[in-house]
Amino acid sequence: MKPIAVVLGSSSPRRKEILEDIGIRFTVAHADIDESALPGEAVDQTALRLAREKALKISLRHPGALVIGADTLVALDGEMLGKPDDAPHAAAMLEKLSGKTHDVFTAVAFALASEGREESFLCQSRVAFKNLGRAAIDAYVATGEPLGKAGAYAIQGQGAALIEGHAGSFSNIVGLPAREVLRFFMAFGIERLPWKN
């Protein structure tokens, strides 16, 4: 099979960096969808649904390309912690996570509209937080890093100081499980990956 163009359906700098790090040539498109959870929907199912919706919507505009849609969600005891609305909301999330272990789900969907193909998978990691004092939370929130991040932290940034440990894929926690993504490229029957020159 000849090389197929790849489109990343995300404007996340972290996902772009991960694809670049594993040598994938791609372009970026954004899917404007409602990312709200449905009533009674489990966090992992929300992530899968949103990743599929992103991939399928963008694939309609790029039918000959392999589109990657992804969604990362944080869950504490089954409660979804999305992106904080503002600094006080971020602080409240970090207070909830303090001293506890939570789940990070990243769902990834691949769509190739020209062949009517769509596949998806879910990757789960666990992250344990240190016990955080109010001063530590306030100092971290003041950096501005928690805003725009699911769960109000970035494990690859200054948020690493909050972490006691993690289990599972690190890149999954960042926003895109690199090894699993490569495996799905091959599962799609793409014999020649679009490596950077």
Cα gap 184→186, rounded to integer Å: 5
**Which listed residue (32, 71, 77, 103) is catalytic?**
71
Cα gap 35→39, rounded to integer Å: 13
Q: 112: helix, coil or strand? A: strand
Q: 87: helix, coil or strand? A: helix
Give the sign of the dihedral formed by CA 24, CA 29, CA 42, CA 120.
Answer: negative
Residue type, 178: A
Q: Tell me whether residue 34 is one of the annotated catalytic residues.
A: no
Are 167 and 91 in contact, with CB atoms under 8 Å apart? no
How far is residue 57 CA from its own chain's centroid?
Answer: 17
Q: Tell me which residue of 46, 127, 136, 138 sits closest to 90, measured CA to CA.
A: 138
Residues carrying an active site annotation: 71
